[in-house]
């Protein structure tokens, strides 16, 4: 039975997109809204009322009963609260379905339970959500199609206007890059572009495991990753999973996933199996940054829902399994003008494309000067397991340009003429295959920040985190460098401009070429070389985070009004705390699993083997029980090691936990600077302790447990092993 679907028809069917707005809104209203979307003009109350009414009518036709201001608090997930459209009953007891412009534009969720890092005390629980009209509203249906809710993308801030979310600073950073880029473009004589938008395409990796098996593993349930597990007999060594044939069950999951995403206007485009068994990837067509960020959040959410429908669970953790690759995201990024020009497209002759070269060098400078905050933008407890572990880029941020561009930059640096590389015909050897022109950049999968033809690919992101933060930081850092260029060129007379630009590019290359690296980023030699070049190597989250509050970074973010100093400090605190909390949960889960399930299963097996030996002896008195003896000895020794490891882990976790002062809550009210600093220091200490001791204890304990696991038969083990999890769907 094949069910035919028209993709063109279902695409965006649940989105209040431009086409729907054009069709349903009065011309004048539509025009006003477009002005707001494109130029940031303030929306009149009366216009908002008309839009709200039409949006509601449209949503009700789609079966919606409620609307929700959808926002992205600092938990990394999305948040929603539903309000029905019903009005207060009239005197006859009847209600109307209503939705006002005011309700569309502004919401007031109780903000007290979202992380704010001390920005807002609980007694000032008010927070506001404000409509982000540049990301379209949509109706989301429950998997059975019975519930529909209108979602309105919003930004979330405190009563006093501080950002409590990812969207607010993201929109601010997009404005910064727009403003600075337009200014620089004008100096080049570009008078037509009105807007520059950073574009983003996010490749998303994920694992799928069988739901019933997942439910037997507390570590997957509570920590999102396995805390134990001896490797399966087969891993990824045959490289047979990458781009391999997609199995039926997965194929049918992917089909449903695409349909659900298309309906929501998410341009799901590419899908394939990834390197690790049970690992897959999805990539959409790129979009404006804030839409791409919203769509990536939706993608992760829909992946989980659709998986559930198929008896699967979608794991988005960065390292669900030891010994095979974890999951990341690639953030493809460029800058595009409203006239449709991709500023990072070198064209056929990059050496002659000054505009491209100046923006390219601005990005290189930005990555070099703000490598620390870019590193921080991808820092999380989960991602720490991947970065630098030879499956993802190292923790050192560097730029890959490929041979041709590197040559172009070198010739500028040395004042030489660039002879140019002719388009090289690719000869694949077989006459029947088409011949095509070779890409001027080869791929380098080991680079954290790679130029890939007409965009940069930031490859350090973890699979689970929102992509907002990396883009906020990238946009702002580039905005600053573009600003500096514009400042240097603004008073140059026209006849001197060419030389001035040449000198500027040359100087920038000389100053920042240390960040360019085209070689293999996975090698120890590179890490050594990077240290020599003076590049940051911030290995873990607690190593990296203190750089967040370095003066130069506070200066950058406050200069462009991306974050206030208070917002910067609050984020610092939230991230540190979140790191410690995650490790605390992992440690607690491990302790519980070992204590309640794993050790008892080791003892049960020892009992069983001992009983076998005794039974054997009772039948044949001189029979050998050497193998049972050996196994019991081995298991007992491992059980001892596990018990000791368990005690150490418990003690160190308690120690780490205790560094969080019990008075911390009371102190949150204390606004004296000194006590704030003290708090921050404590969080840093706690995070460091978790990293240094708790994580190490967990690894130790895991070693003995994994060894014991290989000795115990499956039916005595309390949970499914790696081979069952990885090779059964």
Choose the contact partner of 664 out of ligand ADP, Mg ion, none; CB within 5 to 8 A by kind.
none
Choose the contact partner of 385 out of Mg ion, ligand ADP, none; CB within 5 to 8 A by kind.
none
Q: How far is the CB of 457 from ligand ADP (least distance, A)?
A: 6
Q: How far is the CB of 460 from ligand ADP (least distance, A)?
A: 14
Choose the contact partner of 648 out of Mg ion, ligand ADP, none; CB within 5 to 8 A by kind.
none
The answer to whether 201 touches 332, Cβ cutoff 8 Å, is yes
Q: What are phi and psi of 130, to 5 degrees?
A: -125, 130
Q: Considering only 322-330, 486-494, 669-677, 686-694, which stretch makes contact with Mg ion by CB under 5 A?
A: 322-330
Which residues make up the interface to ligand ADP (CB under 6 A)? Answer: 199-201, 203, 270, 283-286, 330, 332-334, 342, 454-455, 457
Choose the contact partner of 73 out of ligand ADP, Mg ion, none; CB within 5 to 8 A by kind.
none
Q: How far is the CB of 282 from Mg ion (least distance, A)?
A: 12
Q: Which residues contact 312 (CB under 8 A, 6 or more apart)?
A: 208, 209, 210, 211, 249, 253, 729
Q: How far is the CB of 203 from Mg ion (least distance, A)?
A: 5
Dihedral sign, Cα of residue 278, residue 284, residue 286, residue 292: negative
DSSP of 12-74: TTTB--HHHHHHHS-HHHHHHHHHHHHH-PPPPHHHHHHHHHHHHHHHHHTTEEEEEEEB-BT
User: Which whole-number Å values give the CA distances from 71 to 109, 118, 183, 294, 466, in the listed order?
Assistant: 10, 20, 32, 9, 12
Q: Which residues contact 512 (CB under 8 A, 6 or more apart)?
A: 361, 364, 365, 368, 369
Closest to ligand ADP by CB, 286 vs 449, is: 286
Q: Does 330 bind Mg ion (CB under 5 A)?
A: yes
Closest to Mg ion by CB, 214 vs 451, is: 451
The answer to whether 51 touches 29, Cβ cutoff 8 Å, is yes
Closest to Mg ion by CB, 56 vs 459, is: 459
Closest to ligand ADP by CB, 115 vs 350, is: 350
Q: Which residues contact 711 (CB under 8 A, 6 or more apart)?
A: 605, 631, 634, 635, 638
Q: How many CB atoms lie within 10 A of CB 386?
A: 24
Structure tokens at 50: 């008309």
Q: How far is the CB of 243 from ligand ADP (least distance, A)?
A: 10
User: How far does the chain reach from its first CA to its final CA, in angstroms?
Assistant: 22
State the alpha helices, DSSP H only, in 204-353: 211-214, 218-223, 248-263, 289-309
Q: How many CB atoms lie within 10 A of CB 349?
A: 12
Q: How far is the CB of 330 from Mg ion (least distance, A)?
A: 4
Closest to ligand ADP by CB, 178 vs 334, is: 334
Instruction: Give the chain's largest Cα–Cα span.
Output: 106
Structure tokens at 375: 């590193």
Q: How far is the CB of 663 from ligand ADP (least distance, A)?
A: 48
Q: What is the DSSP letter of 75?
A: T
Q: How far is the CB of 455 from ligand ADP (least distance, A)?
A: 4
The answer to whether 453 touches 439, Cβ cutoff 8 Å, is yes
Q: How far is the CB of 329 from Mg ion (least distance, A)?
A: 9
Choose the contact partner of 194 out of ligand ADP, Mg ion, none; CB within 5 to 8 A by kind.
none
**What is the C-alpha separation between 137 and 104, in angstroms, rounded?**
10
Q: How far is the CB of 193 from ligand ADP (least distance, A)?
A: 16
Structure tokens at 329: 């995201």
* Length of the chain (residues): 729
Element (H, E) at 438: none
Closest to ligand ADP by CB, 68 vs 334, is: 334
Closest to ligand ADP by CB, 292 vs 712, is: 292
Helix (H, G, I), strand (E, B) or coil at 467: coil
Q: Does 483 bind Mg ion (CB under 5 A)?
A: no
Q: How far is the CB of 275 from ligand ADP (least distance, A)?
A: 12
Helix (H, G, I), strand (E, B) or coil at 456: strand
Q: Does 329 bind Mg ion (CB under 5 A)?
A: no
Closest to Mg ion by CB, 205 vs 260, is: 205
DSSP E strands in 142-210: the ranges are: 148-158, 196-210
Choose the contact partner of 201 out of ligand ADP, Mg ion, none; CB within 5 to 8 A by kind.
ligand ADP
Choose the contact partner of 454 out of ligand ADP, Mg ion, none; CB within 5 to 8 A by kind.
ligand ADP
Closest to ligand ADP by CB, 51 vs 335, is: 335
Contact code string over 190-219 relative to Mg ion, x by CB under 5 A = -------------x----------------
Choose the contact partner of 342 out of ligand ADP, Mg ion, none; CB within 5 to 8 A by kind.
ligand ADP
Q: Which residues contact 666 (CB under 8 A, 6 or more apart)?
A: none
Contact code string over 150-189 relative to Mg ion, x by CB under 5 A = ----------------------------------------
Q: How far is the CB of 521 from ligand ADP (least distance, A)?
A: 16
Closest to ligand ADP by CB, 451 vs 548, is: 451
Contact code string over 678-717 relative to Mg ion, x by CB under 5 A = ----------------------------------------
User: Residue of minimal CB distance from Mg ion?
Assistant: 330
Q: How far is the CB of 695 from Mg ion (least distance, A)?
A: 30
What residues form DSSP beta bridges with 140? 149
What residues form DSSP beta bridges with 156? 129
User: Residue of minimal CB distance from ligand ADP?
Assistant: 201
Choose the contact partner of 270 out of ligand ADP, Mg ion, none; CB within 5 to 8 A by kind.
ligand ADP
Q: How far is the CB of 699 from Mg ion (least distance, A)?
A: 31
Closest to ligand ADP by CB, 327 vs 580, is: 327
The answer to whether 117 touches 676, Cβ cutoff 8 Å, is no
- Which residue has tokens 């927070």? 127
Choose the contact partner of 406 out of Mg ion, ligand ADP, none; CB within 5 to 8 A by kind.
none
Closest to ligand ADP by CB, 296 vs 704, is: 296
Closest to ligand ADP by CB, 68 vs 273, is: 273
Helix (H, G, I), strand (E, B) or coil at 415: coil
Closest to ligand ADP by CB, 162 vs 274, is: 274
Q: What are phi and psi of 268, to 5 degrees?
A: -55, 125
What residues form DSSP beta bridges with 447? none
User: Which whole-number Å values give the CA distances from 724 to 209, 217, 321, 727, in the listed order?
Assistant: 9, 12, 13, 6
Closest to ligand ADP by CB, 114 vs 458, is: 458
Burial (CB count within 10 angstroms: exposed 0-12, middle 13-18, buried 19+), residue 67: buried
Q: How far is the CB of 639 from ligand ADP (least distance, A)?
A: 47
Which residues contribute to the site for Mg ion (CB under 5 A)? Answer: 203, 330
């Amino acid at each position: 039975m094949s069910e035919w679907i028209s993709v063109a028809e279902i695409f965006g069917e649940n989105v209040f997109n431009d086409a729907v707005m054009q069709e349903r809104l009065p011309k004048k209203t539509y025009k006003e809204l477009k002005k707001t979307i494109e130029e940031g003009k303030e929306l009149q109350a009366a216009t908002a009322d008309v839009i709200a009414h039409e949006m509601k009518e449209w949503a009700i036709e789609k079966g919606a009963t409620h609307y929700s201001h959808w926002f992205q608090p600092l938990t990394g997930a999305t948040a929603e609260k539903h309000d029905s459209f019903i009005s207060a009953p009239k005197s006859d007891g009847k209600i109307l379905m209503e939705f006002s412009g005011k309700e569309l534009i502004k919401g007031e969720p109780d903000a007290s339970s979202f992380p704010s890092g001390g920005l807002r005390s609980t007694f000032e629980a008010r927070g506001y959500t404000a409509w982000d009209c540049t990301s379209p509203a949509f109706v989301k249906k429950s998997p059975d199609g019975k519930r529909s809710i209108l979602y309105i993308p919003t930004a979330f801030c405190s009563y006093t206007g501080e950002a409590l979310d990812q969207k607010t600073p993201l929109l601010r950073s997009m404005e910064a890059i727009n403003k600075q880029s337009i200014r620089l473009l004008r100096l080049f004589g570009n008078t037509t572009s009105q807007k520059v938008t950073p574009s983003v395409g996010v490749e998303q990796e994920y694992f799928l495991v069988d739901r019933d098996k997942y439910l037997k593993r507390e570590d997957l349930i509570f920590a999102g990753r396995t805390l134990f597990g001896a490797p399966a007999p087969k891993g990824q060594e045959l490289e047979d999973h990458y781009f391999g044939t997609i199995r039926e069950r997965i194929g049918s999951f992917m089909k449903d996933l695409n349909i659900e995403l298309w309906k929501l206007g998410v341009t799901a485009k590419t899908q394939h199996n990834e390197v690790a068994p049970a690992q897959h990837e999805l990539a959409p067509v790129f979009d404006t940054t804030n839409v791409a960020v919203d769509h990536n959040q939706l993608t992760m959410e829909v992946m989980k829902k659709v998986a559930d429908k198929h008896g699967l669970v979608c794991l988005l953790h960065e390292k669900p399994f030891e010994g095979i690759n974890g999951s990341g995201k690639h953030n493809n990024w460029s800058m595009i003008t409203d006239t449709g020009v991709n500023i990072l497209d070198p064209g056929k002759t990059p050496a002659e494309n000054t505009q491209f070269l100046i923006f390219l060098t601005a990005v290189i400078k930005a990555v070099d000067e703000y490598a620390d905050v870019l590193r921080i933008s991808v820092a999380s407890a989960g991602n720490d397991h991947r970065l630098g572990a030879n499956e993802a880029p190292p923790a050192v941020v560097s730029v890959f340009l490929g041979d041709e561009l590197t040559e172009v930059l070198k010739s500028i640096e040395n004042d030489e003429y660039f002879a140019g590389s002719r388009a090289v015909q690719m000869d694949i050897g077989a006459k029947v295959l088409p011949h095509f022109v070779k890409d001027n950049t080869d791929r380098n999968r080991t680079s954290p920040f790679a130029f890939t033809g007409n965009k940069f690919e930031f490859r350090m992101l973890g699979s689970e985190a929102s992509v907002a933060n990396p883009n906020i930081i990238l946009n702002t850092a580039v905005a600053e460098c573009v600003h500096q260029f514009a400042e240097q060129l603004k008073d140059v007379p026209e006849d001197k401009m060419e030389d001035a630009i040449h000198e500027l590019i040359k100087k920038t290359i000389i100053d920042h070429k240390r960040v360019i690296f085209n070689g293999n980023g996975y090698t120890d030699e590179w890490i050594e070389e990077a240290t020599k070049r003076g590049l940051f190597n911030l290995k873990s989250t607690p190593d990296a985070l203190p750089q967040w509050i370095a003066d130069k970074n506070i200066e950058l973010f406050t200069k462009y009004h991306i974050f206030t100093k208070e917002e910067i400090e609050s984020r610092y605190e939230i991230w540190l705390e979140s790191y410690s909390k995650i490790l605390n949960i992992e440690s607690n889960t491990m302790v519980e699993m070992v204590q309640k399930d794993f050790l008892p299963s080791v003892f049960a097996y020892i009992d069983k083997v001992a009983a076998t030996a005794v039974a054997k002896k009772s039948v044949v008195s001189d029979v050998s029980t050497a193998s049972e003896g050996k196994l019991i000895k081995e298991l007992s020794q491992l059980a001892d090691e596990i018990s000791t490891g368990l005690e150490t882990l418990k003690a160190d976790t308690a120690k780490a936990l205790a560094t969080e002062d019990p008075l911390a809550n009371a102190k949150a009210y204390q606004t004296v600077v000194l006590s704030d600093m003290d708090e921050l220091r404590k969080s840093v200490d706690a995070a460091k302790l978790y990293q240094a001791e708790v994580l190490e204890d967990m690894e130790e304990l895991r070693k003995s447990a994994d060894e014991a696991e290989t000795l115990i038969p499956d039916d005595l083990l309390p949970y499914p092993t790696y081979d069952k999890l990885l090779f059964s769907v």
